[in-house]
Amino acid sequence: MNTKTSPRKPDAGASARSVQPAADKLEQARLLLDAGEPSLSELGEAVGLSPSHLQRRFSARFGLSPAEYLAQRKLGSLRSALREGSDVSAALYDAGYGSPSRVYESGAARLGMTPARYRAGGAGEQIRWSLTRTAIGTALIATTARGICMIELGDDADQLEAKLRSEFPRAQLERVDAGRDEFLAPRVQAVAQTLDGHKQSVPVDLIGTAFQKKVWDALMKIPAGQTRSYEQIARQIGSPRGARAVAQACANNRVAVVVPCHRVVRGDGSLGGYRWGLPLKEKLLRRERAA
């Protein structure tokens, strides 16, 4: 039987009496969140900062509020346990969720599917997909009932399908003829037109951490024909030192072009990286600028 210990509270007295640089205090706050579930006031008392000041400085440093950081830590523990094969109830309890309903109240619905289905590699999740030719080559377009969950680009149809299956190894994957499927047809058409350079509204089902979603949301607000640096995006989402994390979030984007990570470049204007290759990134930017 699993036993759950009470969250450890920080030693407010000893910590408050110590004099530390602000950066060290923020790091101490992060470590306390890793060790337990202190409230914002308890956390502020422990590191010698007022709750409002701690909230503001912590968000600027790490890109998440203390509460969001704690939620993501718990979610990360849950995701790891589920992937390692732990029993769902035990994984929820060990990650710090008092009941199954709390997992959703605390934001774990960002798994994109139920914990049981995530643990099983997407088992029970229905994903329709199709291949289509576009102006930038062959695209695999996959969608859940919530929206487009993957747009993968490449020349080899077998490799494209393999990438989808590795992402959702036990989901119910159904390849359909987009021209005949009433559900998929309008979504494939909207994506294809977007890949061809025509702006369309495309519903997406983005599965990622809170930080990744902040980055992806910021990318979708960059106007076509313009670029932003990794540093600019980091500042925009309240994490001025998070340029490297922004670049990693771009690399983890599974929805090509619709989530326009190709519009993010290095501070010196050079292209940086791109999941689907720098020649395509350059082509997309050149096409958007011309338009």
Mean pLDDT of the chain: 79
pLDDT tens digit sequence for 185-240: 888 999 999 999 888 888 888 777 778 888 998 999 999 999 999 999 999 998 88
Q: Which of 41, 45, 3 is nearest to 25 (CA)?
A: 45
For this structure, is 149 an active site residue?
A: no
Question: With respect to CATH, is domain 126-195 assigned 1.20.1440.230?
Answer: no
Q: Output the six-digit token pair for 132.
A: 């289509």
Q: Output the six-digit token pair for 94.
A: 């060990």
Contacts 24+ apart (CB under 8 A), 230-237: 230/264, 230/265, 230/266, 230/267, 230/272, 231/267, 233/264, 234/63, 237/63, 237/211
DSSP 138-199: EEEEEE-SSSEEEEEEES-HHHHHHHHHHHSTTSEEEE--TTT-TTHHHHHHHHHHHHTT--
SS3 50: coil
CATH top class, domain 210-290:
mainly alpha
pLDDT tens digit sequence for 58-87: 877 766 688 877 777 776 666 666 656 556
The active-site residue, picked from 148, 219, 261, 285, is 261
SS3 208: coil
Cα(55)–Cα(47) distance, rounded to whole angstroms? Answer: 12
